[in-house]
Amino acid sequence: MTIAADAPQSRGAHPVYDMEGMDHSSAVEMEDARLSVFPKAQTRPVLWNVLLAMVALMLGGLPGIGQALERVGINLYNNDVVTAVLDENAAYYQGLTLHGVLLVIVFTFTFANGFITLATMRAYGRPMASTLMVQLAFALALLGTVLAGWTMLANEATVLFTFYPPLEAHTMFYLGAVLLVISTWVTLANIVMTHRQWAAANPGTRTPLMAFMAIMTYAMWAMASVGIAAEVLLLILPWKFGWTEGIDAQLARTLFWLTGHPIVYFWLLPAYISWYTMIPKQAGGRLFSDPVARFVFILFLLLSTPVGFHHQYTESGIPQWMKNIHGIATFAIFFPSMITAFSVVSALENGGRNRGGRGLFGWIWKLPWGNPALTAQLHAMLIFTLGGASGLINASQTVNLVVHNTAFIVGHFHMTIGAVALAYIGIAYWLIPYLTGNNLWGRKLALWQSWLWFVGMLLFARGQISAGLQGVPRRTAFADSVYRDFIDGLDVPNMLTAIGGSMMGLSGLFIFIVVVGTMMGLAVKNKEQLITVAETRVGATKRIWPWLDNYRMWVGIAILLVALAYIPFLVTYVPDGSSAVGAPFDLY
Amino acid sequence: MEMIHRYERFFLGSTLVILAIGLVAVISSFFVNDLELPSPVETIDPAELASTPPFDNPGVFQVGENEYDAVITAQSWAFVPGVIQVPAGSKVNFKIGSVDVVHGLIVHGTNVNLTIIPGQVAEATATFDEPGEFLFVCSEYCGILHHNMAGRVIVN
């Protein structure tokens, strides 16, 4: 092996890793992945999905500004304009429910469905197997959004996005959630059908990396979402309809968190697909290794789900030894993200050096920071690094006793989902131009948007983390609380939260302006654009670790691991009726 | 042919070491600080909780020289009792159950952090060495006045 640069400027001390003689055969053969090669009937629903995601981001973001300002005593929830829309008594929690459901379910699901559908077409170089299913997935998501949105706006579902029974929401709220989940299952089925068609036409060819990742992401999610489906269909709806006398709150929560942790990876993995397969080329470099990237996604398939109890450390219905198993598995799931950190940063370094960067850190400044699509995703990576690290704190059982259900957790997950959201926005900055043929309008504004989000998110999260360590509970209308003056040391954290939240609000306004301007075609029309797909240094042929592509084996092992993690609880936890709650509680 | 570059191997090896150190630290912290996670106690029908001992008579009860049981019921939107008085140096066993929806209990200045699930009795223990007032709050959303659900431990 010799180490050489892609471009001739590398120096011995900080070599670019290149492996001459390695296989560079990854899928770039489809250079003309112009929009017009795909059927309009399929790419239009992709655009609709992306636009629905943007609408959810805007509407879901608004209550967030109110929550951040509430920390410094600016209560927008008393405002006449707000109470004209939201219930005057429940406004804070109604807004919080909208914030959660619209951002972590509607925004993420619709964006993933759209983006991954397109990535699948691009990877295989062929349309999806079923046009009807592309359209159906969008229609189901839209209907689910309308149903859930309507019940939330009507104050009939002020139960937060976790909807823990025996809090009770309108039946249509649960139905809306189910339809949104089903839209992802339809997308998976279509991806699998497309894979089969492609495999039949290309025997003996390795699945393109991007398509492999799409399959793994959706397979993981389909397996994981069985928990929430069982919770709603087997426990909540029969209880709502009066078919069962009560509902077991502990069992329902356990099923919720069977899905509730892997849902984070369902948000994250589409961003990882972009970071692995598109970002390297956008930055001017190549991906480090194809087989290692496949291995990472397999680890996510295997380890995302058998970890749910780490959200339940403080619940007394689950024995400690079971929590220990999930706790150790949670440490393991950190590993593939660390491989990702290496692979993505090495591809960025490769890009930066190809663009003339020198020295240990010189390559960083040579990255195309003027490109909003890339800048937003670079910021997202930096935020997510901290989000992941703080997640390891939460997963540490004894430390969890200090931070569980405090604002610390809010700080943590805003650096995970908030990073994913920024990554999606970055993707949208090339995806919307690609899908519409319009150039991105307001590039400067888009760059400001990314920086504002980046700094704002970190300030916000820092404020929430400090407040949590002072004992402020999460999901609480703090300024209205009876104890707001009895917790010390909150002046600075609350100020950071409010400033950070306001910066993100402004950032959201910029997204709105940029997306609307782009959709209206305010920028000059461009020639048809391409979807960039990175080359890899260690290649993508069957020769290297062919067992990686054994889908049945991996899904089988994944199901086995989930069974091992959950069966001990499910068979020993016998709801004898004594722990069931008799009647629904209506507390809003 | 080398599948994994030596830089990558070094990075991944370091990650494994960091994770192993973290795991050992977490496990040792259980023993060093004598901690345990909330574990199954008993199940009681929430509708029957208020008439089932000990929850039919919530309050603070001395059970040892410096040891007290604080028997608490959680309901929307109050803890009963809302004030717990003990002398300095007391060990307090919190025993708590919910009569309606899911609540939470975080006692400031301690490691007490419980999710109170209807049907499940929850227990945790803390020692209050210094005199003072310690806030406890509901930490799980339980309806529109969730933010008013709180109480105090007064240590004399």
Q: Does B51 touch chain A (CB under 8 A)?
A: no
> Catalytic site residue A474?
yes
pLDDT at B33 over 50: yes
Q: Per the structure block, which two tokens stand in for A30?
A: 């489809």
Q: What are phi and psi of A529, to 5 degrees?
A: -95, 165
Which residue, B137, B123, B136, B130, is CA-closest to B155? B130
Residue A557, pLDDT above cutoff 80: yes
HSE-CB at B39 with a 13 A cutoff on CA atoms is 11
Residue A386 has pLDDT above 50, yes or no: yes
pLDDT in tens, A288-311: 888 889 999 999 999 999 999 999
Contact B127, B141 (CB under 8 A): no
Is the Cβ pair B45, A579 closer than 8 Å? yes
A385 interfaces chain B, CB cutoff of 8 Å: no
A456 close to A502: Cβ distance less than 8 angstroms: yes
Cβ distance of B19 and A331 shorter than 8 Å: yes
CB atoms closer than 10 angstroms to residue B16: 12
Residue of A558 and A531 predicted with greater confidence: A558
Contact B8 A292 (CB under 8 A): yes
Phi, psi values for residue B137, rounded to 5°:
-130, 155
3-state secondary structure (DSSP) of residue A39: coil
Dihedral sign of CA atoms A568, A572, A576, A580 in order = negative
Question: Does residue A7 register a pLDDT over 70?
Answer: no
Element (H, E) at B96: strand B90-98
Residue A369 near residue A401, CB atoms below 8 Å: no
The pLDDT, as a whole number, for residue B34 is: 84
Confidence of residue A2 (pLDDT cuts 50, 70, 90): very low
pLDDT tier, A15 (very low <50, low <70, confident <90, very high otherwise)? very low
Whole-number pLDDT of residue A527: 67
Q: Which residue has the higher pLDDT, A78 or A583?
A: A78
Q: Of A520, A425, A409, which is closest to residue A61 (Cα–Cα)? A: A425
pLDDT > 80? residue A21: no
Residue A577 — left, alpha, or beta (φ > 0 → left; ψ -120 to 50 → alpha)?
left
Q: What is the mean pLDDT of chain B?
A: 93
In angstroms, rounded to a whole number, what is the distance separating the alpha carbons of residues A277 and A258?
29
At residue B14, φ and ψ (nearest 5 deg) are -60, -40
Chain A from 23 to 62: CB within 8 A of any B CB: none
Concatenate the DSSP letters of all residues of A153-211 into one string.
Answer: HTTS--STTT--TTB---HHHHHHHHHHHHHHHHHHHHHHHHHHHHHHHSTTPPPPHHH
For residue A28, pLDDT beyond 60: no
Q: Residue range A367-376: average pLDDT?
A: 95
pLDDT of residue A574: 66
Could you give the C-alpha distances from A374 to A176, A429, A457, B134, in angstroms and in order?
34, 9, 18, 49
Cα–Cα dist A343/A213, whole Å: 15
Mind telling me how many Å the CA of B62 is from chain A's nearest CA? 24
How far is it, in rounded angstroms, from Cα A283 to Cα A349?
9
Interval B21-45 mean pLDDT = 90
The pLDDT score that the predictor gives to residue A3 is 30
DSSP code, position A156: S
Which pLDDT score, from 0 to 100, does residue B3 have? 67
Measured distance CA(A231)–CA(A251) in Å, rounded: 8
Share of chain A above pLDDT 90, in %: 78
Tell me if A374 sits within 8 A of A426, measured CB to CB: yes
Q: Give the pLDDT confidence of A198-224 residue by residue, as tens digits.
A: 999 999 888 999 999 999 999 999 999
Round to the nearest angstrom and report the end-to-end CA distance of chain A: 67
Which amino acid is it at B12? L
Tell me the average pLDDT across B128-139: 96
Position A1 confidence tier, pLDDT thresholds 50, 70, 90:
very low
**pLDDT at position A404 over 80:** yes
| Residue, of A311 and A543, whose pLDDT is higher | A311
Residues 6+ apart with CB under 8 A from A144: A106, A175, A176, A177, A178, A179, A180, A182, A183
Confirm if A407 and A465 have CB atoms less than 8 A apart.
Answer: yes
Q: Which has the closest alpha carbon to A393: A490, A318, A315, A313? A: A313
* pLDDT, average across residues A547-553: 91
Which residues in chain B have Cβ-Cβ distances shorter than 8 Å to A158?
A: 144
User: pLDDT confidence of A33, banded at 50, 70, 90?
Assistant: low
Q: Are A136 and A569 in contact (CB under 8 A)?
A: no
Mean pLDDT of A391-417: 95
Whether the pLDDT of residue B6 is over 60: the answer is yes
**Quick check: B123 and A405 CB within 8 A?**
no
Q: Within 13 Å and on the Cβ side, how many CA atoms surround A430?
A: 22
**Residue A579, helix vs strand vs coil:** coil
Task: Please say whether the beta carbons of B15 and A550 come within 8 A.
Answer: no
ipTM comes to 0.95
Instruction: State the Cα–Cα distance between residues A135 and A1, nearest whole angstrom.
Output: 49
Q: Is B114 on the interface with A (CB under 8 A)?
A: yes
Touching B: A residues 139-158, CB under 8 Å = 158
Which residues on A lie below 8 Å from B136 (Cβ)?
none
What are the pLDDT digits (tens) for A76-126?
998 899 999 999 999 999 999 999 999 999 999 999 999 999 999 999 999
- pLDDT band per the 50, 70, 90 thresholds, residue A575: low
Q: Work out the pLDDT band at A66, boundaries 50, 70, 90.
A: very high
Using one digit for the tens of pLDDT, what is the confidence trace for A463-517?
A: 999 999 999 999 999 989 999 999 999 999 999 999 999 999 999 999 999 999 9
The predicted model gives A382-399 an average pLDDT of: 94
The stretch B1-22 carries a mean pLDDT of: 83
Q: Yes or no: say if B60 and B129 are a contact pair by the CB < 8 Å rule.
A: no
User: Is the predicted pLDDT of residue A137 greater than 80, yes or no?
Assistant: yes
| Residue A170 designated active-site | no
The dihedral over CA atoms of B31, B32, B35, B37, expressed in degrees to the nearest 10, equals -50
Q: Using the predicted structure, report yes or no on whether residue A537 has a pLDDT greater than 80.
A: no
B7: nearest Cα among A520, A16, A187: A16
For A45-54, A82-91, A443-452, which range has the lowest pLDDT when averaged over its residues?
Answer: A82-91
Residue type, position A346, single letter: S
Residue A468: per-residue pLDDT: 96
Does the pLDDT of residue A546 top 80, yes or no? yes
pLDDT of residue A201: 95
Residue A541: per-residue pLDDT: 61
What is the rounded average pLDDT for all residues in chain A? 90
Helix (H, G, I), strand (E, B) or coil at A365: helix
If one counts every other C-beta atom within 10 angstroms of the C-beta of residue A513, the result is 15
What does the alpha-carbon distance between residue A178 and residue B133 come to, in Å, rounded to a whole number?
A: 46
| B118 → closest Cβ in A249, A401, A480 | A249
CB A258 within 8 A of CB A225: no
* pLDDT of residue A22 exceeding 90: no
pLDDT at A245: 81
Has residue A529 got a pLDDT over 80? Answer: no
User: pLDDT category, A267, cuts 50, 70, 90?
Assistant: very high
Three-state secondary structure of A436-505: HCECCCCHHHHHHHHHHHHHHHHHHHHHHHHHHHCCCECCCCHHHCCCCCCCCCCHHHHHHHHHHHHHHH
Residues 6 or more apart in contact with residue A16 via CB below 8 angstroms: A3, A4, A5, A6, A10, A349, A350, A353, A354
